Chain A
Amino acid sequence: MIQMENVTKTYTLRKQQVIGLDDATLAIPAGDFVSLVGPSGSGKSTLLLMLGGMLTPTAGRVLIDGESLYDLPADGRARFRKQRIGFVFQTFNLVPYLTALENVRVPLYLAGVGGDDQLERATALLNRMGLGQRLDHKPTELSVGQQQRVALARMLANDPAIILADEPTGNLDPETGEQIIRFFEEFNAEGRTIVMVTHDPQAAERAERTLKLREGRVVEDRPGKRMLQVA
C-alpha cells in the first residue's frame, strides 16, 4: 500500500514560491495500476518522484507498506528503491557505454547479485522482452522501442513490487507505445503496483485508475476504462 498524507512540495524559483504539490492525500493499494494525468506543470512528475523517495516533501508523509519513506536517510531510501521500486523513464536512461545485457545487469550488481546469476537473470529478462538477439548491442545500436524494452528488463531485474513510470510511451510511436502498455498490463497482472505518468489519454485509460492533477492538486480520481469494462 502506497500512501500520501497531506503532502505539499513548494519550490523557490527566482525568489518566488512555486507550488509543486498541494496537500495531496491518496492511497494506492498493492497491485493497483494508476495513471497520473494532467497538464504540464500540474505536479505529476513531482508526485511520482516523491513516491520513489527522490524528492523530499516540504510537508506531509509518504508511506509505503507503513514505512515512512522520508524518515529514512538518503542512502536508506536508495536501498529501499533497490529492493522495492522499479523506475521507467521517458528517455529510457540507459547507460550509453554499456550493452543491453550490461545495462540490465547494473541493478543486479547494485543489489549484490553474483556475476553468473546476473548473467542468467539479465539474459532471461531480455529474452522475455524479445531482445535475445540484441544482448551485446549498445543503446545507440537499438531502435527507441528496443531501448525502452531494455529499460523494462532493467526495471524488472530486482523483481520490484512497485513500478513508477514517467511517460513511458512519450517518445514512442503508437504501435511501440501499445506494445509497452501491454507489458505494463502483464506486470500488473503479476501483482505489481504501477503508477504511470502519461500525457497519452489512450495509455491512461488502460490503467485501473486515473488520478488527474491540476496546479498541484488531485482534482479527479476515477476508475479507468479497464475497470469499467470489468465492472
Chain B
Amino acid sequence: MNLRTLVLRELFERKTQMLTCFLAILLGITTVVAIKNVTHYSEKAVAVEMDALGANVLVLPKTVTLQDYYSADMHDEVIPEEYVMRLTMSDIQGVDNLSPKLNVPIELDGRNFAFTGILPKNEFQAKAAWAGAGIFSRPIGCGAIDVASEPEPEDKKSLVRNRVIKDLESHEVLVGADAATVQDIAEGDTLTLLGEEFTVIAVLPETGTVDDSRIFGHLHTVQRLSGKGPVVNCIEIVGCCKEISAGLVEGVNALLPNAKVVTVKQVVATQQNVNRMMERLSLIFLAIIVIVGGASIANYMYANVFERRKEIGTLMALGAESGLVLRIFLAKAALLGIAGGVAGYLLGTVLAVTLGPRLAGVTVLPMPTLALWAIGVSIGITFLASFFPARRAASLDPVAAFQEV
C-alpha cells in the first residue's frame, strides 16, 4: 500500500467522475495545442514566403485581389503584354528579372491543370537591348542586366527557385511535380496540349505550391492557342533585394497607372491577420480552460471530498495526518493533469497535423515543445482548482468517521 495505490484505486472506482473531469481537461488542452500548432506553422510559412519572395512585386489588373502569391495569375482579368516592354525599357532599378504569366485551364485525361505561359528572359532582354533602352543607365550589380555575357547552359528546373527562365522554345514545356506524377510524365515525353504537341524538357521539383500542378509553356504559344492575344494575367518582378523593391513599387505605379502593384507583404497581410486572430483565439481558449475547466475540476473535487468525508475521517482516525490527506487529493489532481496534458497534446497535434493543411493551407508538423507546455498548463490548472478542495479535506473533522453518511 502506498499513496499511488490509494489514489489510483479511488480514481478507477469512480470512473464516470474521473472521465468527466479528464474530458474537461482534455478538450481544453486539445483545442489550445491544435490552435498553437497550426498558428506556429502558419507564421513560419509566412516568414518563409517573406524571406523567399519579400523583394518581389506583382503587377496585376486593377480589379484583382489575391491572397496567395503563387496563384497570382489564376484569374480572368488581363493586362497588356506591352507592360513588360515598358518595364524593361524604363530606368527603374530592379526590373530586369520579369516573369509575365498567362494562365489557361486545361484538361488532361479528365483532370484539371493550369497551362501557364511564361516569357523566357532572353526575349525581352534582347528586345530591350535592340531598343537601346535605359537598362544601360542602371548601376552595375543588383538590378543590372549583363546583356553582353555569353548565355550559359541553364538547368531548367531552376525556374522553381529563381522564378524566371532564360530560354524556352515555342513547343517546349516544363511540368510541375504533381502534374508529372499524376499523368506519369517524364523528361523527353511528348504532350498534346490544346491540339498541339509539346516536348517535356524538364519535370520540376516539388515546391508545395500551386506551381506543382502547372505545365509551363512559352507565353506566346499559350496566347496563340488560347486566342487571348498579347495579354498576361500578371507580371512578377523578381526583386533582388528589399531595399530596391521599396522604391520599385512607386516607380512601377508611376509607369503603369492602369495596373495594380502589389508587394508580397500586402499578399501575406491577410494570413498575418489570421495568424494574429488565431493567437488571440488561443489566449481566449486558454482563459476559457482556466475558468470553465478549473471550475469543473474544482466542482468535481469538492463533490469528491464531500462524498469521501467518512473515508477521510476513517483514515484520520487510523492516524493519517492532514498533510497526507492533502497529498492524496493533490496527487489525484497531478495524475489527472498529466493524463489530460499528454492526451490533449497528442489529440491536439493529430488534429493540427490533419486539419492544419486544409484549414490554413500549410504543412503542420508535431511540436514536441508544446507537450511540455500542455502538461505544465494542465497540471497547473488541476492543482489550482484542487488546492482548496484538498485543503478542505485535510481540515475535515475526523469525527466524520463516526457519522452516518
Contact = CB atoms under 8 A, between A and B. Distances in A.
Given A75-B323, A91-B404, A106 B1 contact: yes
**Size class of the B contact interface (CB-based, 8 Å):** 20 to 34
Contact of A154 (B318, B402, B404): B318
Given A49-B399, A95-B314, A108 B1 contact: yes
Given A54-B398, A54-B399, A115-B2, A87 B317 contact: yes
A222 interface: no
Nearest to A157: B318
Interface stretch (A76-84, A128-136, A182-190): A76-84
B402 A89 contact: yes
Contacts of A106: 1, 6, 315, 318
A111 B319 CA distance: 8
B321 A78 contact: yes
A78 B311 contact: no
B321 A93 contact: no
Contact of A54 (B10, B315, B317): B317
A101 B5 CA distance: 13
B316 interface: yes
Interface string A60-101: 000000000000001100110111000101010101111000
Interface in A153-192: 154, 158, 166
A116 to B, nearest CB: 12
B401 A107 contact: no
Contacts of B10: 97
Interface in B140-165: none
Interface in B1-42: 1-2, 5-6, 9-10, 12-13
A161 to B, nearest CB: 14
B320 interface: yes
Contacts, number: 78
Contacts of A87: 317-318, 401
A102 interface: yes
B218 interface: no
A102 B398 CA distance: 21
Contacts of B324: 110
Contact of A118 (B1, B397, B399): B1
B403 to A, nearest CB: 10
Nearest to B3: A109
B322 interface: yes
Given A97-B10, A98-B9, A115-B2, A166 B402 contact: yes
A45 interface: yes
A105 interface: yes
A55 interface: yes
A52 interface: yes
A82 B314 contact: no
Contacts of B101: none
Max count, chain B CB within 10 A of own CB: residue among A49, A83, A111, A158 = A49
Interface in B111-125: none
A151 to B, nearest CB: 10
A126 to B, nearest CB: 14
Contacts of B398: 54, 78
A52 B2 CA distance: 25
Given A93-B311, A106-B6, A107-B319, 17 more contacts: A55-B399, A74-B322, A78-B316, A79-B319, A81-B319, A82-B319, A83-B319, A87-B317, A89-B314, A97-B9, A102-B1, A106-B315, A108-B1, A109-B1, A110-B324, A115-B2, A158-B319
22 contacts: A45-B402, A49-B399, A49-B402, A52-B317, A54-B399, A54-B401, A75-B321, A75-B323, A79-B319, A81-B317, A82-B318, A87-B317, A87-B318, A93-B310, A96-B311, A97-B13, A105-B1, A106-B1, A107-B319, A110-B315, A110-B318, A111-B319
